[in-house]
Chain A
Amino acid sequence: MYVAVKGGEAAIANAHRLLVDRRRGDRRVPALTIEQIAGQLALAVDRVMAEGSLYDPELAAMAVRQSRGDLIEAIFLIRAYRTTLPRFAASSPIDTGRMLIERRISATYKDLPGGQLLGPTFDYTHRLIEPDMAEDGFVAEPARRDPGETGPAPRVTDILGDEALIEGDGRDGGGEPADLTRSPLAFPATRDLRLQALARGDEGFLLGLGYSTQRGFGRTHPFVGEIRIGEVEVEVDLPEFGFPVVIGRVRVTECQMVSQFTGSKSEPPQFTRGYGLVFGQMERKAMSMSLVDRALRADEFEEERRAPAQDEEFVLAHCDNVQATGFVEHLKLPHYVDFQAELDLLRTMRAERPTAAPPTEEPAAERDGSQ
């Protein structure tokens, strides 16, 4: 018998009211402002923009505040928001070679044109909690140094490319890139679709997969050819104008991972590459993305697909943390009827078991009706 049950409206309303109270916390403590979150928790905001797949620091800061710092919840809010807006256009592809660089390092070349620029990095810190963090102490202005007449800092892969020891960027076929927000994932996936999925994929999931490739599950022996972080202009070619115009700038992190390759029937031995590109300052994510991008290119290099990171269906179908959280978290919603059916089935199986020992106790009859 199926019995529909209603109820819980008051409980839900009060739970949400309690949530708002707990979110605000002690009223004697000043509330966080959006400027404070965007300015001082900037990397949390960056993660929400990257995985929410919507660049808007103010909106992402609002989502971080609303979600009490639960970043996957914040990403969910951003994803929901974007579905309410029309898409006006697609930008021209951003040119990371013309980035206003805030950090740029290479682990493969010490003396590269433009130099090794550490920028605002956690690297080389001692990872000790600073007592100053308990207070709002004095903060010195950053050091400055005249860069002189700086030319553009070429991408490292463009420098190596001259010797053909490293594969190129690949061709631009001229077609429209795949878009997983418009059509569902299909396998086998093209690299453009994979890159889109990875760019909005969960940092933790991709970090774990990237790590697994280093530990031998799809080993590619990678080097960081280059990581660069900074602002690039976004240009849109609008019919109103008939030419591309700059509409503003976004900050992105790019990682060029260089991997060994022994050659194939058609290709001489050369370095191959994995690519990472994400919104905001997200170095760990960009590195992980580039490792996984390279691992997923196994077929191109006639590599056997044996490891999870090389399995594109496994990676692409599970890297989205909004989809993942939706399916995992739905388990906590009422499943009373499903569970009742399982219970009944179990009882029937027990009753039909010929050699089963008699149950020591009769199940309480009223428990059946308590759903």
Chain B
Amino acid sequence: MADVSSNPDPAPSAARRRAVSAFAQADAGFLEAAWQSLGEGRTVGALRGPESGLVMVRGRAGGGGAPFNLGEASVTRASVTLDDGAVGHAMVLGRDARRARFAAAFDALWQDETMREAIERDVVANVEAALAEADAERRSETEATKVDFFTMMRGED
């Protein structure tokens, strides 16, 4: 594991973490379309993969106790490099190599500070909004199945 404390400035890593998490959950078609405009003219070279593998998903006993191995999930990871030498990584749930490759490409492009704002706006915010919208719909469907208890009075007292 890399030493997190070696990163002198925690703010960029928090922002990159948010961005990488968004890339990983984006639709491959969306990422490819966004790359057409944002990554135009750049060559994406493969450093590693995309390759399929597994992640062991862990849970905790009782929900908050000691960790245990719940079961594995299929994942795809990729590492790419751009013309300027920037290196990007991605790991995504599932077996979609295209999504992993574009997610890694966007991670590399995001590190170019001149591109960051546009990526945050057109990709990260977009993916987060789509997820939030789908979640809100799911919540409202679930909410409609909430039990509203009412009390029945029995007897005279």
Contact = CB atoms under 8 A, between A and B. Distances in A.
Contacts of A155: 63-64
B29 interface: no
Given A88-B54, A241-B16, A143 B141 contact: yes
Nearest to B104: A240
Interface of A: 49-50, 53-56, 58-59, 82, 85-94, 96-97, 100-103, 110-111, 115-121, 142-147, 150, 155, 157-158, 168-173, 177-181, 191-193, 195-196, 199-200, 234, 236-250, 252, 254, 256, 273, 275, 277-279
B93 A234 contact: yes
A144 B143 contact: yes
Interface in B101-157: 135, 137-147, 149
Nearest to A99: B63
B151 to A, nearest CB: 10
Contact of B71 (A58, A177, A199): A199
Contacts of B74: 54-56, 59, 85
A275 B4 contact: no
Given A82-B72, A247-B75, A195 B145 contact: no
A91 B59 CA distance: 9
A286 B140 CA distance: 25
Interface residues of B, number: 58
A154 to B, nearest CB: 10
A279 B59 CA distance: 11
Main secondary structure of the interface of B (DSSP, over half): mixed
Contact of A91 (B2, B57, B147): B57
B24 A147 contact: no
17 contacts: A54-B71, A55-B57, A88-B77, A89-B56, A115-B147, A147-B142, A157-B62, A168-B62, A170-B62, A170-B65, A172-B60, A192-B67, A196-B68, A199-B71, A234-B57, A243-B16, A248-B25
Contacts of A171: 65-66
A209 to B, nearest CB: 19
A272 B4 CA distance: 38
A53 B72 contact: yes
Contacts of A256: 62-63
B140 A90 contact: no
A236 B139 CA distance: 26
A238 B57 contact: no
B152 to A, nearest CB: 13
Contacts of B73: 54-56, 91, 234, 248, 250
Contacts of B141: 142-144
Interface in B14-70: 16-17, 20-21, 24-25, 52-70
Interface-centre pick from B1, B67, B95 (highest chain A CB count, 10 A): B67
Given A142-B144, A246-B24, A249-B93, A172 B65 contact: yes
